[in-house]
Structures are given as C-alpha cells and as structure tokens.
Amino acid sequence: MAPWYFTRYLKGYFHVLNIYTQNTILMKRYKKWLLFALLGTASFLNAQDWKTDFNEAKRQAKNEKKPIILVFQGSDWCAPCIKLDREVWSTEAFKDYAAEHYIMLQADFPRRKANALSPAQVAANTQLAEAYNPRGIFPLVVVLNETGEVLGETSYKKASPQAYIRELNDFLD
C-alpha cells in the first residue's frame, strides 16, 4: 500500500491533468469558432454589393448612369445558379468591374427554411419575376437600362468572369 502522501500527490497530479485536458479541449473549440467567425466576416466584407429593391436600383442606376444587372436565382437549390455565383459573381475580377460599371440587383427564390426571405421580399421578387421572368428560367440574367427597359438576357455559361463581362457589355452597345 502506498503512503498517504503519495496518494495525495497522485490525486493532485490527476486533478491538474484533468484541468489541463479540459482547457485544451476548450481552447480547440474556441479556435474553431474564432476561425469560423473570421472567415465569415472576411467573406461578408468582400461580398458582391447586391441590391434587392428594384426602385432603389433604378434610382441609383439613373444617378450613376449605369445599367442594372437583374439576376433571378435559386441560391440554395439551383445548381447552375450556384455555379454562376462561384465562377462569376463571387470572383474578385467581376466584383471589381461590377462596382464601377453595374448596379447588381438580385431576385432570389430560396427553398430552404433557413434561407427564407421576408414576405415583403418574396412579394417584390415575385413581382419582378412576373415582369421580367414569366417563363421561370433559373438562372436568368437580365440587363436593364435605368428605366427598367430590357436590353438583353442571358443565363449560365461556363465562362471566365472577363468573358461574362464582355457578354453583358454586348447588350449595352
């Protein structure tokens, strides 16, 4: 049998070891959450400047003398919409060009409850779809002038951001 002071030493050692293990686990969790928060903030700060109000987009387009790029998409269910977002809208080349040359207007039609829009936004998007996308094509990219007149339409194409910009600009000439 071990002397009493040895058992007391072992209890203290295991107590310290237990605290160290718990702190290590907590630190790993905190690091994961911190990394997640930083990445989320970084992607938010670097996001495309999408408008969701048609009248506001028309006002801004008129003031800045820019065309409106109206995008109908299903952001959480439409595979070509998601590809178009990844391959064109979210690229630095397109975001930089769009900030200087376009007013980007998004009419999203998500299906998942987690991505649900407000009833007012759903009504506004439905009204836009009735006017500019009556056939319900997704994705549909409509190029408009500042008064809302259609200059051209396109959809997903496997193209570089520069090629997509050229295609959008062809409607403006």
Give the span between the Cα atoms of 109 and 15, in whole angstroms. 55
Both 159 and 104 in one domain: the answer is yes
Q: What is the pLDDT of residues 55-101, one digit of tens each?
A: 999 999 999 999 999 999 999 999 999 999 999 999 999 999 999 99
Q: pTM for this structure?
A: 0.74
Predicted local confidence at residue 173, as pLDDT: 82
Contact indicator for 159, 88 with CB cutoff of 8 Å: yes
Q: Same domain, yes or no, for 36 and 99?
A: no
Q: How far is CA 145 from the centre of its chain?
A: 25
Per DSSP, the three-state class of 40 is: helix
The Cα angle at residue 96 between residues 167 and 58, in degrees rounded to 5: 70
Domain count, the chain: 2
Q: Are residues 72 and 40 in the same domain?
A: no
Residues 84 and 161 placed together within one structural domain of the fold: yes
Based on the domain organization, do 35 and 87 belong to the same domain?
no
Do 78 and 7 share a structural domain? no
Domain shared by 20 and 41, yes or no: yes
Question: Could you list the residue range(s) of the whole structural domain that residue 126 is in?
Answer: 50-170
| Same-domain status, 57 and 16 | no
- The answer on 40 and 88 residing in a single domain is no
CATH number of the domain encompassing residue 121: 3.40.30.10
In this structure, the number of other CB atoms found within 10 A of the CB of residue 154 comes to 17
Per-residue pLDDT of the chain (173 residues), as tens digits, is: 566 555 666 666 666 656 666 666 656 666 665 455 544 444 444 467 899 999 999 999 999 999 999 999 999 999 999 999 999 999 999 999 999 999 999 999 999 999 999 999 999 999 999 999 999 999 999 999 999 999 999 999 999 999 999 999 999 98
CA atoms within 13 A on the CB side of 110: 12
Q: What percent of the chain has pLDDT over 70?
A: 73
